């Protein structure tokens, strides 16, 4: 594979990654809106539910990206999870939300671990060709 084809495949993977993460963020926001609209869920449960939704979305998005790249699944997953966590922190700071440091670290660990899991699963998926 020459250098031009490598750049082309990398750009396809990068574009797919951005689209996958955008789709996952839309799912997260839709879930959060539905949960908030119900109004019957206590604040502690809401935090746990959103952490699970973000982690699941991270697994799915990272799985898709690493399925296409077929290399460096764990590293790609961890970096992707960390990027999502940093974006989440930036959004939280922009909205002025107050979060306990321990809860924030636990949420970050869950998201980064989910990215690693999705990356490993995506690279190790056997294709039927």
User: Using one digit for the tens of pLDDT, what is the confidence trace for 74-117?
Assistant: 888 888 888 888 888 888 788 777 777 888 889 899 999 999 99
Mean model confidence pLDDT for the chain:
78
Rounded to whole angstroms, the Cα distance separating 119 from 74 reads 5
Q: Which two tokens stand for residue 30?
A: 């839709």
Q: Is the model's pTM score more than 0.85?
A: no
- Write down the domain spans for the chain: 3-124
Rounded to whole angstroms, the Cα distance separating 14 from 8 reads 10
């Amino acid at each position: 594979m020459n250098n031009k084809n490598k750049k082309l495949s990398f750009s396809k993977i990068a574009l797919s990654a951005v689209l996958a993460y955008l789709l996952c963020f839309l799912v997260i926001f839709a879930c959060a809106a539905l949960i908030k609209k119900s109004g019957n869920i206590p604040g502690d449960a809401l935090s746990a539910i959103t952490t699970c939704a973000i982690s699941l979305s991270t697994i799915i998005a990272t799985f898709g990206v690493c399925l296409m790249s077929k290399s460096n699944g764990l590293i790609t997953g961890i970096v992707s999870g960390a990027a999502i966590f940093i974006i989440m922190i930036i959004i939280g700071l922009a909205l002025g939300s107050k979060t306990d440091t321990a809860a924030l670290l636990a949420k970050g660990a869950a998201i980064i671990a989910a990215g690693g899991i999705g990356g490993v699963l995506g690279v190790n998926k056997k294709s039927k060709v």
